[in-house]
């Protein structure tokens, strides 16, 4: 009975460890590819890309969406832009979940690659030596990026530093934030009123 209790206690820990270690391995591969992309850009006399959290969010969501797609179907996702889609299923939903304003963000580019076991050197080669990806990495207008990966898929999302490519907050979220500020302000006034007049 005691060993059963111990097993029931250790089983969730084992699953948590496996999930955490897979996540860490995935993050290491993404970090390695990101550094490689920036080294490549510097060799081309271009500024390194900065990490953009909303681009990273979108890259992760797209990677999750296409993770079961066979690698040979990679071409169906080109060209993929934030405004145009490029056959990525549920892209608009993912854009909204990552709090990106689709009406003003037209310059973002989504570049998925599929490599068995996501070998970082081969993933990097796919980005830097294929014309369809390298044309974007060689373009100085792209200044930010986010990477996400699932299974054999890695997704790079590029942003610009222009008003149409910064991945600004969605207008719905902006108005929601203003509403929260307004409610807090009214609550503070109510507190002041109660403390001074009672």
Instruction: Kindly report the CATH number assigned to the domain that includes residue 57.
Output: 3.40.33.10
pLDDT at position 107 is 79
Domain assignment of residue 190, yes or no:
no
Domain assignment of residue 93, yes or no:
yes
> What span, in angstroms and rounded, lies between the C-alpha atoms of 196 and 126?
67
Domain assignment of residue 195, yes or no:
no
Paired tokens of 120: 């970082």
Domain count, the chain: 1
Q: Which domain holds residue 77?
A: 2-167
pLDDT at position 173 is 42
Q: Which of 48, 54, 50, 28 is nearest to 149 (CA)?
A: 28
The pTM is what?
0.72
Q: Which of 127, 130, 134, 138 is nearest to 42 (CA)?
A: 138
Chunked mean pLDDT (size 10), the chain, 198 residues: 46 38 59 96 96 95 95 85 78 90 80 94 94 93 95 94 62 45 57 60
């Amino acid at each position: 009975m005691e060993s059963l209790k111990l097993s029931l206690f250790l089983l969730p820990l084992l699953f948590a460890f496996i999930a955490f270690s897979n996540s860490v391995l995935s993050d290491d591969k993404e970090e390695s590819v990101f550094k490689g992309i920036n080294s490549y850009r510097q060799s081309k006399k271009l500024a390194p890309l900065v990490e953009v959290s909303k681009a990273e969010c979108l890259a992760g969501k797209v990677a999750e969406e296409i993770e079961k797609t066979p690698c040979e179907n990679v071409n169906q996702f080109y060209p993929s832009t934030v405004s145009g889609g490029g056959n990525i299923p549920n892209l608009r939903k993912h854009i909204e979940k990552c709090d990106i304003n689709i009406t003003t963000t037209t310059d973002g580019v989504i570049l998925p690659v599929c490599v068995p076991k996501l070998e970082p050197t081969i993933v990097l080669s796919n980005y830097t030596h294929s014309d369809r990806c390298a044309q974007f990495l060689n373009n100085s207008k792209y200044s930010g990026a986010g990477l996400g990966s699932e299974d054999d898929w890695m997704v790079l999302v590029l942003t610009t530093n222009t008003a149409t490519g910064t991945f600004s907050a969605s207008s719905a979220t902006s108005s929601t934030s203003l509403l929260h500020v307004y409610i807090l302000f009214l609550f503070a006034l109510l507190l002041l009123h109660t403390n001074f007049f009672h």
